[in-house]
Chains A and B, each alone.
Chain A
Amino acid sequence: MAIDVSKIIHAVMEGSKIRESKGIIPLFGVYLSLFSVNYYDRLSFDFEIKMGQEREAEAKTLLIEAAQECGYATFQGIRNSWEWEQIVAPMIENKEDQIIGFAAVAVAFGWGDLAVEELVPGEKLVIRASDSYEARGYLEQYGFAKSEKCYMLRGVAGAFMDLIYGGVYPEGRYVFSAAETFCRAKGDPYCEFIARKSSHRPDA
């Protein structure tokens, strides 16, 4: 059975309308919040600016690692959740299907129109998005960028591979890392993320 992306999106939208009495949204094993994409864009891009040119590379690395660590914990929670078990697990036939399921959840979360373009088991993952909130936010705020800007999605692409091929959780974090080979913020037609085995692990 193929992964039914629309079914996953529908489940997330319905679940995100359920509140417990404390105003917390517990869904897919995590606590969700709903907030303007402008907030996340401003945090990332102003952080980069405040770090200055000398610390530009460090700023990017920190933002990507924050997202990768988050993606690793978040999607581990998601794939162990009751909702995943009920809605997604019946559609999964092999390990690789899990990544399609993860990407569908990311679309449901409003991160962009992610699509898995290529997956070589254990080696390589290619994800594309023609509209990510990071690239769109950068373009709207600053115009064309000189370098790629989708730090969150870049970290998340690495985390997807870590979870499936990185080994037993939580030992597999940062086994993979992703590059953003194309970015709409630079004027490319889409954003593309390629995750491969990492040559270095920041916490190894």
Chain B
Amino acid sequence: MAIFDWQNELNRDGHRVVISGQPIAMHCHHYNINLQKTLEETLGTEGVQLLYRSAEETNYNSLQHLFNQYYKIRTLKSKLEMASLLYQNCGLGIIHFRKVRPSSAYIASTSSHHVTGWLAKHGRRETPGCHFTRGWIAGALEVIYQRPLGFYMVEERQCKMKRDEECIFHVKER
């Protein structure tokens, strides 16, 4: 994994910020959580789906680009490590791929930007709220297992926004 040099991948291209040449934006928890709340309150389930799908599709494309660039990263283990490293280095939190198979997976997150941000702004919620991370996981596994977008469905069974100990995600085929 030493070949994935994170520090060198985060750069500037003129006024743009890029990771491995792909433009990114730095946003803080205020904006990310405001967007989530706006979408959830205004569109309900449809808003939740929009958050999920946007994260899924974007992460799918970003990771695809990275894996093409780092073509020596081939094994499942090294690809999952790279995905976790990307999540962590983007300030999104810590993600543990605990049991991963082509048709199902069990994933835990002990810390996340969205959880920290939500709790700081709004406190505990009654329902799981890591829609971004669910989508992010779906996109990651679809790239890693070379499945089409939308192939996996990710459900959050425990959530730190509800004050559970960890966020627990279950993945299965749609």
Could you list which residues of chain A lie within 8 angstroms of chain B, going by C-beta atoms?
9, 12-13, 16-17, 19, 22-25, 30-40, 42-43, 46-47, 50-51, 59, 62-63, 66-67, 69-70, 73-74, 77, 107-113, 131, 133, 152
Could you list which residues of chain B lie within 8 angstroms of chain A, going by C-beta atoms?
7, 10, 12, 14-17, 19, 22-32, 34-35, 37-39, 42-43, 46-47, 50-51, 54-55, 57-59, 61-62, 87-94, 110-113, 116-117, 120
| Contact A32-B28, Cβ < 8 Å, known A19-B89, A69-B34 | yes
A174: shortest Cβ distance to chain B, in Å? 14
Number of A-B pairs, beta carbon distance below 8 Å: 161
Please determine whether A23 and B93 come into contact, CB atoms closer than 8 angstroms: yes
Cβ 8 A contact of B30, one of A24, A30, A59: A30
A152 proximity list for chain B (CB < 8 A): 31
A36 proximity list for chain B (CB < 8 A): 22-25, 58-59, 61-62
Please determine whether B26 and A33 come into contact, CB atoms closer than 8 angstroms: yes
B82: shortest Cβ distance to chain A, in Å? 15
Cβ 8 A contact of B26, one of A19, A47, A70, A110: A110
Tell me what chain B mostly uses at the interface: helix, strand, loop, or mixed.
helix
Please determine whether B27 and A33 come into contact, CB atoms closer than 8 angstroms: yes
| Contact A24-B91, Cβ < 8 Å, known A30-B30, A34-B10 | yes
